[in-house]
Structure 1
Amino acid sequence: MREKQTIRVTLLLSFLVLVTKGKGIRKKYYGEDNTLVLPYQQVNKTIQMKGGDVYDYIDVNAQPSLSDPRLKDHKIQMQPSSFPVGLDIDPLLSHSELQVQPSTIDCPVGTVPILRNNRNFTMAAHNIEGVGSTDLQREAAGIQYHGDVYGARASLNVYEPKVNKDSKDLSATWLQIKNGGEHRDKIGVGLEVNPSFSGDTFVRFHIGWADGLYKKSCIDHSCRGFVLVNHGWGLGTRLKLVSVYDGPQWELKVNIFKDPITKNWWVLCGKMNSPIGYWPSALFTFINHKGDYVFWGGFVQGPTVSSNAPQMGSGHFASEGFGKAAHIRNIQILNENNSYITPEENFDYGTTNSTLYTVDKFHVDTAGMSIYYGGPGSAV
């Protein structure tokens, strides 16, 4: 087992501290700011879910992401051109059982669900702190790989770490791929407790991305760009089946891969790897062909992390092991032959602050790498 190495703060996502803006539904135009609010005329139907979440059903061809100028004349790709070798796929329109079932959304075929913000019933619209902002504080624990990648996957243990509802901090379990020089393109998927974004302290499913050239960072629908195609799964959806310390353990399979024909980056989720949507290759400068770095693990971020760090994972240290510490398993990368492999070199694992969060019990089996990670934060 190799010696643990500290993961630099610069390897973390720098685009996930968010500030809620706006109180009404109003139309915004590209270039005005990063805020994206849904025009009334695009809504086919609006429903309120049990628990309070509000979804607008939008025609898949009229979703706000397609108004990005870079996607002018973009034709929606409803499914990948092909899938990685050996991947089990659930047909897009079926309702198969997932490892963790999000809130049930039953949009009509041909529409997609767009989640409104819980606080003010606008879309999940936020201004995002710029890349390299000096007031962002971050800590992370996990594993990283350096080398050519065309995708990555993992099974994420679903916990609901405690985050102060009145703070702008967040706690996440994340899979991220990036590429580029000083200004990197980044794409990611995972689980977050993010009160300043969602208006609550539930664990939710999110995607995030960053345009390294223009230093614009986004989560879910906060910017135009990510194309949603699944009519049964919305970005920002709440995950109601949550693991219990020393009790039942729930997982969510996540998968990002580059379509070898269209070059779009797809997100698949759930037991049968259902297609959720994709980032069109036109959004990026550096990652439109491949990635050169992957991170799997947990991170916390926000303006009060150094003084009042939230929990990560289960809120318990990695040394406690299965059922007590959070885990990530089936960690693999996709190679140039469109096959998943377990890295044998060019990877390391560690933590930015071992007094608050740890990573441990790293091992490899036929399904990939596995790690335990997390910790109590300032509640040590």
Structure 2
Amino acid sequence: MDSSNNHLVLVILLTIALVLGVKAAHLSRAIPSEEEKNEMERQLKAINKPPIKSFKTEQGEIFDCIDIHKQLAFDHHLLRNHSIQLKPTSVPKWITCHNNSQKIGPLELQLKGISCPHGTVIVKRTTIQDLIYSQHLKSIGFNIPRHVLRDGNNIDLTGHHFATADYEYDNIAGVQGNINLWDPQVSHDQVSLATMAIAGGPIIEELSSISVGWMVNSLLYKDHIHLYTYWTADGYNKTGCYDIRCPGFVQVSKRIPLGVLLQPVSIYNGTQKEMDLSLHQVITSRVSRVNVGYWPQSLFIASGLVKGADLASWGGQVYSPTTEKSPIMGSGHFPKEGFGKAAFVNNIHILNGKGEALIPQIYTIKTHESTPNCYKAKYVHDDDEPWIRAVYYGGPGGCIGK
């Protein structure tokens, strides 16, 4: 059995505070053939494990309670003998900053009327449409870290727009951020998301990365904003997927599934809502937050995240076919409007190789904007701001053919 204590863990802090290359292809052109549909049906049988109990939400989504030892993660050949770690052996002591927003709590993330038995985990059931849409997002290069795109790796950026704050140094063992919740309106095949990511690897073929945040994509999540994750261990070639649509992520929570609908959301010039997320490599000690699950170290090659990341990123990303105006990012307002009006990620921290949680120095964070006339990012580090370190990002969109 695998006795390693090094895991990349997705942890959600559930407390409450106050105020708060396929080029732009339309899915209609990507209808799978009968052979592809048959292959997807085969995949669905492998992905959706026999449930102990099942529940259907008002939105028509089905969630299953699966035996924790029989979940999809253990179909991965590298995890066949993996021993489940229900709690991290160590949780960083993240520094708590003054907060003017309301964090969504565990009861708000827990699905109403759903209670999974002891010894099970809650998993969103995957459909054939989910597989089609996931493949579509991969084909247009979604969730590839911005620094990889910038470095010219023959990845088509058509329709993609970014506004991020990035920390690029070696030996990053984890990151934290409170992501402001908004529910931007997008068209049928557009995407708008807020993300926090870590990545590492010398070349694109050996890139390892994990992204977590919220996404609005009517094709992948039907309605409104949902908690999402994405990971890869080989530069988005053969490994990785959204949420639990492939073996890899080990779910340990029986209350909070990946892909869950996030409610309530922020109100312009009113109450602000946020979700506290952290990704970190666990080394030793105990848990003090609600642990959703983790990506075992054995999934990642030595040159990837095993020895630490070299990029941490916070901010927004959108995508739109070139035939449409690009959608809203964040709240739809530029950073200069400030708190309560512009989207933000606050309480930004880095975990170093010694397991120490650090507030990044001012000179270590740089903002990047792919389309400044439509989206901007502003790094905040003044003591008189609501937080010591944060990034405002977003904009109204409206770009065409870029």
Q: In structure 2, what residue type is equivalent to 1:72? A: R
Q: Is the 8 A contact 1:319 1:361 kept in 2?
A: no
Which segment drifts farther, 290-299 or 19-28? Answer: 19-28
**CA displacement at 1:57 relative to structure 2:** 1.0
**Hey, which of these two has a bigger chunk of strand by percent?**
1
Alignment partners' CA distance in 2, 1:63 and 1:133: 34
Amino acid at match of 1:129: S
In the alignment, is residue 369 of structure 1 matched against residue 392 of structure 2? no
SS in 1 for 2:109: coil
Q: Say whether residues 1:300 and 2:354 are aligned partners.
A: no
Structure 2 gaps, min length 5: 1-21, 97-103, 142-153
Q: Distance in 2 between matches of 1:231 and 1:87?
A: 28
Q: Is the 8 A contact 2:314 2:391 kept in 1?
A: no
- The alignment-based identity, stated in percent, is 28
Partner of 2:335: 318
Partner of 1:280 in structure 2?
296
Structure 1 residue 336 corresponds to structure 2 residue 353? yes
- Give the corresponding residue for 1:378: 398
User: What CA distance in whole angstroms lies between the structure 2 residues aligned with 1:322 and 1:237?
Assistant: 26
Measured on the aligned residues, the alpha-carbon RMSD in Å equals 3.3
Unaligned residue ranges in structure 1 (runs of 5+): 1-13, 29-34, 89-95, 263-267
**1:180 equivalent in structure 2:** 201
SS in 2 for 1:291: coil
Per-residue deviation at 1:282?
1.1
Instruction: Tell me how far 1:172 sits from its aligned partner.
Output: 0.7
Q: Distance in 2 between matches of 1:57 and 1:124?
A: 24
Give how far 1:26 is off. 7.5
Question: Could you state the TM-score of these two structures normalised by the residue count of structure 1?
Answer: 0.79
Matched, 1:85 2:93: yes
What is the alpha-carbon distance in structure 1 between the residues aligned to residue 162 and residue 350 of structure 2? 20
Q: Greater helix share, 1 or 2?
A: 2
Amino acid paired to 2:346: R
Kindly indicate whether the alpha-carbon contact (under 8 Å) linking 2:253 and 2:293 is maintained by their aligned counterparts in 1: yes
1:177 CA displacement: 0.2
Q: Distance in 1 between matches of 2:161 and 2:75?
A: 35
Which residues of 2 match residues 47-86 of structure 1 at below 5 A? 47-85=55-93
| Structure 1, 62-71 or 48-57: larger mean CA deviation | 48-57
**Matched residue, 1:8:** none
Q: Distance in 2 between matches of 1:86 and 1:205?
A: 22
Please say if 1:143 is aligned against 2:165: yes
Deviations 1:313-356 (A, max 9, x none): 01111111111111110011001221211111332013111111
Contact persistence 1:144–1:296 (CA under 8 A)? yes
Question: How many angstroms apart in 1 are the aligned matches of 2:377 and 2:397?
Answer: 13
The C-alpha deviation readout for 1:51-94, integer Å capped at 9, x for no partner, is: 32210110111011110111121111111011113579xxxxxx
Q: Determine helix, strand or coil for the equivalent of 2:380.
A: strand
- In 2, Cα distance between equivalents of 1:65 and 1:246: 42
Q: Does the Cα contact within 8 Å between 2:192 and 2:318 map onto a contact in 1?
A: yes
Aligned counterparts of 1:85 and 1:38: Cα–Cα separation in 2? 39
> Retained in 2: the 8 A contact 1:163–1:201?
no
Whole-Å separation in 1 of the counterparts to 2:309 and 2:225: 28
Equivalent residue runs for 1:96-245 within 5 Å: 97-98=105-106, 101-104=109-112, 105-117=114-126, 126-127=134-135, 128-129=138-139, 134=156, 137-147=159-169, 148-164=171-187, 166-167=188-189, 169-183=190-204, 184-198=207-221, 200-212=222-234, 215-216=237-238, 217-245=240-268
SS of the residue 1:189 aligns to: strand
Alignment length (residue pairs): 340
Give the Cα separation in 1 of the matches to 2:317 and 2:62. 28
Matched residues in 2 for 1:234 and 1:42: separation? 17
Where does residue 350 of structure 1 map in the other structure? 368
- 2-structure distance, mates of 1:39, 1:373: 36
Q: State the secondary structure of the residue aligned to 2:331.
A: coil
Q: Partners in 2 of 1:78 and 1:87 — Cα distance? A: 24
Quote how far apart the aligned CAs of 1:162 are.
1.3
Which residue identity is paired with 1:83?
Answer: V
Q: Which amino acid aligns with 1:323?
A: G
8 Å Cα contact 1:298/1:373 also seen in 2: yes
Offset at 1:242? 0.8
- Paired amino acid for 2:215: E
TM-score of the two chains, using structure 2 as the length reference: 0.75
What SS is found at the alignment partner of 2:259?
A: coil
Alignment CA distance shift 1:79-1:374 (3 Å) = same
Mean alpha-carbon deviation: is it higher for 213-222 or for 106-115? 213-222
Q: CA deviation at 1:201?
A: 3.1
Aligned position for 1:250: 273
